[in-house]
Amino acid sequence: MDGGRPGVAATLRALNGALGRPAALWVKESGARNLRHRDFLAPRAALSAAFPGGQVPPEAVSAVPSLRGPAVLPLRVCRQTPAGLAVQVHRPEAFQRLLGALPGPPAPAAGPRTGCVVLHCPALRSSPAALRPRHLRSVLLADHLAQLLRAQGVDVRLVPALSEERSWDVLRQLRVCWPSGSGGSALADAISALKAALGRCPCATACEQGPGTAEGVISKVHLKSFVEQQGLLGYDPNLDVLLVTERTLQSLAELQEAVLQCPVSDPTALPTSHLPSVPSFCIVHVVNCEEEFQQQQLDVLWRILDPGAHTKHLVCGPVKASEHPGHSHRAAPDGSQGWCRGGPQPVVSCLGAGGFSTWEWSKLCMMAPTFSTDEAWTEVIDTLTVAAIRFEMLSTAHRSQVGHISTKGTKSGAFVMYNCARLATLFSTFQRAVEQGIYPPLPPVSELNFSCLREEGEWLLLFNYLLPFPEVLQQAAQLPPPSKGIRITASTETVCKFLIQLSMDFSSYYNRVHILGEPFPHLFDQMFARLQLLGAVRDVFHSALATLHLPPLSQI
């Protein structure tokens, strides 16, 4: 048996190599119907394009089951079928290798960082009272992306720092981890240097304060001529003249300071014409579509004053959120709209001005048969509320519009948290039974018999979720290069969609299969193998939720 954790990408590379063709011929199956017969398929159409008459040499077919490698799945059989060349995995061995070491919670990768990314969220330059759902979406996206990048070993700097920490309760309630503090003398020096550069800039015209001059304006900068001279792509054609204020220069100074703190010796010497999947260095503005124009103005100004400042824009689509028609709320004693069924609701007190969270909190309260004001219940409702908001904001591609928040059905954050709690209940029930002498403790993984795992749903959980999970996190953290211009796209919806689909398939399996059976010794092998599998599923839930700063719930 080869050591190492198997992976999808490594197995596909080995399969393609076995056929001696550089093209990607093989695909991983994921549907339950196809997985009954095969795990990987080289479709007939792809084989016809790669081989004369679509006939693969027999020696290549016979060599496939003997493929080995530290990250290659153990393969059992390869055969010709009407659909193409089909491969099945040796499943008991795959269970053994994948469940031998359960994945732990994501942590910053050990060793030296592989690069640095500055994530700039302009929404946080406004006051907390001015935050709206569209602003919160970009903040939550930046917070989630930072966690994903750190898990891949990338050093992340978040800008701007929050100067009035006590007034940002809304972010703490949403479990956003954002730095706070002031730049001090270093920031003042950076602003002075930018003023000096502005004075030397041929695109800028100094503004003396007078009757016709806007208050606080230092200079007028002609952006359009610079964009045209430099041949910059992707900028709004309506960019023209920017009135530069002290606050404008402070924003640039904060970005420059973040760049200087990145652990690279010379940022200007690093390539900026493209953005690798895990970049060595880049600056990304995470901005909502309604404020993209203003950020482009700031971006061009920075390019004028600092030729090495090449940045990219990750643009979020609009958020259309409103109160549920006809839904009423009782005001809290302090006047906030966060009072529901007899108790104060801290999240709603912070978010009620956002236009959707008061209704969301009320719906979550109504889900419970009884209402209690104890701390444990408040924590559960807090977590469910944050999960509902985060999943609604992040489970849609960042370019698309977000609508209302849903707490019902299988595509909600509440459903994910519910299934996470079901797993916690399963293992606490098992542990109590062990303490009572009903079951023996779970044996070491080396003593488990994974050939007992013959249920269709068990292979589905392993093959579609446990196996590809590290690659899912990697995909979600990728910042691929734009084809042109300044906009980039990212798969920031990947983790939420993964958790939703995992919850649906786990729920289907859990509703169908009785895990903790009668305490008869001849049933223990199957029960222990299933517990080991579901322990890995539980850890995947926890690891994925950690990238969203959501704690797993032990009960709902």
Q: H helices within 290-396, ranges in order? A: 292-305, 346-351, 357-367, 375-394
pLDDT tens-digit series, residues 218-244: 899 999 999 999 899 999 999 999 999
Read off the pLDDT of residues 4-18 as tens digits, 9 standing for 90 and up: 789 999 999 999 999
Q: Which two tokens stand for residue 417?
A: 């948290």
The two counts, helices (H) then strands (E), for the chain are 19, 13
Rounded Cα distance between 471 and 382, Å, is 31
Residue 359's pLDDT band (boundaries 50, 70, 90)?
very low
What is the Cα–Cα distance from 264 to 252, expressed in whole angstroms?
20
pLDDT, tens only, 74-119: 999 999 999 999 999 999 999 999 998 654 444 444 445 568 999 9
The domain spans of the chain are 8-89, 115-316
pLDDT value of residue 20 = 87
pLDDT tens column, 484-518: 889 999 999 999 999 999 999 999 999 999 999 89
Read off the pLDDT band of 158 (50, 70, 90): very high
Tokens of 354: 């956002």
pTM of the model: 0.87
| pLDDT at residue 134 greater than cutoff 50 | yes
For residue 149, is pLDDT > 80? yes
pLDDT at residue 145, as a whole number: 97
Q: Which residues have CB under 8 Å from 442's CB, separation 6+?
A: 430, 528, 531, 532
> Of 208, 31, 192, 140, whose CA–CA distance to 405 is shortest?
140
Cα separation of 178 and 489, whole Å?
22
pLDDT value at position 339? 25
Model confidence at 554: pLDDT above 90: no
Amino acid identity, residue 167? S
What's the Cα-to-Cα distance from 307 to each of 159, 187, 203, 469, rounded to whole Å?
A: 20, 20, 14, 40
Q: How far apart are CA 81 and CA 89, in angstroms?
A: 16
List the 27-28 sheet strands across, edge first.
27-28, 40-43, 84-89, 75-81
The pLDDT value given to residue 330:
35
Report pLDDT for 493: 96
pLDDT of residue 410: 64
**Token pair of 100, please?**
């031998």
Highest mean pLDDT among 159-173, 276-290, 404-418, 425-439: 425-439
Strand partners, 80: 85
Q: 160-168: list long-range contacts, CB under 8 Å, 24+ apart.
A: 160/120, 160/121, 160/124, 160/125, 160/251, 160/254, 161/254, 162/124, 164/128, 167/127, 167/128, 168/128
Cβ neighbours for 399, distance < 8 A, ≥ 6 positions apart: 315, 316, 317, 489
